[in-house]
């Protein structure tokens, strides 16, 4: 059997992205997933890749920006090898503006984007046109950013898995021995294990729920962000609605909160009123105590490393997460911001 340079535990977006970055650098990789690909938060429905607001700039925002700017070429590379769509599309995003104060803040943020987004995307205030995909906006104005993108989480993971196998990577469902360096990308369960190992809470799982509707004809329209609600049109004619943030829960099944998501979406966008429901999703999303990603060496475990956290921005930061950990593990180059370290 071919020697393995790197064992990656976890078959979600972080684990598969690290594996892809590693095989592109010539490493022999084994991915070990105890259940199935996308068994955790990465198997959700929404797939909103959206930037932080362009103000109060910090390492997390800069990190996410670089990942979003690289996403188009990165996913095209995966698709070229797998022959399967990831559902990626840089479709932008619209957000309604409530009043004059919100408009002024949005215009200030537009100036910040002009300085920080490297001329590769814009954040601007635009007038509503009356299109049936636009959100209701009391001021008559909306934010339109051209950096936001969408991805179909399940298609993206399937495309990555096929591409990895095509490049010679092993993907094991169940268990397999560790060989080489070990990278733990195990989501909420991994945060619990790391917390127990270190004797302090470094993060936890937060329940989320989402819904998928069917409405064709809007596949290339911008995604919408309305009072904390994401409405994301996917390339296959589905519309993802999400998501909830639940710090307390009884179990991980879907419940009446999905009904609330649908009701809110239909109130905000009447074109969804007759859209049939396809499926619902519920699961635990990993939330590090720092709110940012955890990337780096696992303390007290020589040869073991962690990629985790990235609450709500996992798909949006996976590309740069993979680059940083592969720089460290494969090349000994450590440029990980101190605030990201476990």
**322-334 pLDDT, tens digit each:** 999 999 999 999 9
* Structure token pair of residue 155: 């298609």
Question: What residue ranges define each of the domains in the chain, with the CATH number in brackets?
Answer: 6-90+152-203+289-340 (3.50.50.60), 93-148+205-287 (3.30.9.10)
- Give the pTM: 0.96
Q: In three state form, how does the secondary structure of 142-199 look?
A: EEEECCCEECCHHHHHHHHHHHHHHCCCEEEECCCCCCCEEEECCHHHHHHHHHHHHC
Band of the pLDDT at 292, cuts 50, 70, 90?
Answer: confident
Band of the pLDDT at 11, cuts 50, 70, 90?
Answer: very high
Residue owning tokens 């294990």: 193
How many residues would you count in the chain? 342
Q: Which long-range contacts (CB under 8 A, 24 or more apart) does 70-75 make?
A: 70/319, 70/320, 71/149, 71/316, 71/319, 72/149, 74/319, 75/151, 75/156
Residue owning tokens 């989480």: 153
CA distance 106 to 113: 10
| Closest by CA position to 318, among listed 83, 3, 7, 10 | 10
CA distance 317 to 319: 6
Give residue-wise pLDDT tens across range 86-107: 999 999 999 999 999 999 999 9
* Structure token pair of residue 46: 């929404």
Q: Is the pLDDT of residue 1 over 60?
A: no
Question: Which strands make up the sheet holding 141-145, listed edge to edge?
Answer: 123-127, 141-145, 93-96, 223-226, 229-233, 238-242, 203-214, 277-288
Give residue-wise pLDDT tens across range 185-208: 999 999 999 999 999 999 999 999
Q: Rounded to the nearest 5 degrees, what angle is found at the Cα of 319, between the Cα atoms of 179 and 42?
A: 80
Give residue-wise pLDDT tens across range 255-265: 999 999 999 99
Neighbours of 327 (CB within 10 A): 16
Residues 154-175 as b/e (b if ≥16 CB within 10 A, e otherwise) read bbbbbbbbbbbeebebbbeeee
């Amino acid at each position: 059997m071919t020697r393995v340079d790197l064992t990656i535990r976890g078959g979600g977006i972080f684990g598969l992205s690290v594996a892809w970055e590693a095989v592109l650098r010539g490493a022999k990789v084994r991915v070990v997933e105890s259940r199935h690909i996308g068994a955790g938060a990465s198997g959700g429905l929404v797939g909103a890749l959206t930037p932080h607001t362009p103000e109060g700039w910090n390492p997390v925002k800069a990190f996410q920006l670089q990942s979003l700017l690289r996403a188009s070429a990165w996913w095209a590379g995966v698709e070229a090898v797998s022959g399967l769509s990831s559902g990626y599309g840089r479709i932008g995003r619209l957000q309604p503006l409530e009043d004059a104060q919100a408009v002024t803040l949005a215009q200030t943020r537009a100036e910040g984007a002009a300085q920080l987004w490297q001329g590769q995307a814009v954040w601007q205030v635009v007038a509503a046109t009356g299109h049936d995909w636009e959100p209701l906006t009391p001021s008559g104005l909306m934010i339109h950013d051209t950096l936001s993108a969408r991805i179909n989480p399940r298609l993206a993971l399937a495309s990555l898995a096929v591409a990895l196998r095509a490049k010679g990577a092993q993907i094991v469902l169940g268990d397999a021995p560790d060989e080489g360096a070990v990278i733990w990308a195990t989501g909420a369960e991994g945060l619990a294990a790391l917390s127990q190992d270190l004797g302090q809470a470094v993060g936890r799982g937060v329940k989320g729920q989402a819904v998928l509707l069917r409405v064709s004809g809007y596949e290339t329209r911008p995604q919408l962000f309305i009072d904390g609600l994401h409405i994301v049109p996917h390339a296959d004619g589905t519309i993802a609605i999400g998501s909830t943030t639940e710090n307390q829960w009884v179990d991980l099944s879907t419940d009446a909160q999905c009904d609330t998501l649908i009701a809110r979406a239909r109130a905000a966008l009447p074109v969804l009123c007759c859209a049939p429901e396809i499926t619902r999703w519920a699961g635990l999303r990993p939330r590090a105590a720092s709110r940012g990603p955890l990337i780096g060496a696992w303390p007290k475990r020589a040869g073991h490393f962690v990629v985790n956290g990235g609450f709500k921005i996992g798909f949006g930061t996976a590309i740069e997460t993979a680059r940083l950990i592969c720089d460290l593990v494969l090349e000994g180059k450590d440029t990980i911001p101190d605030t990201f370290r476990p």
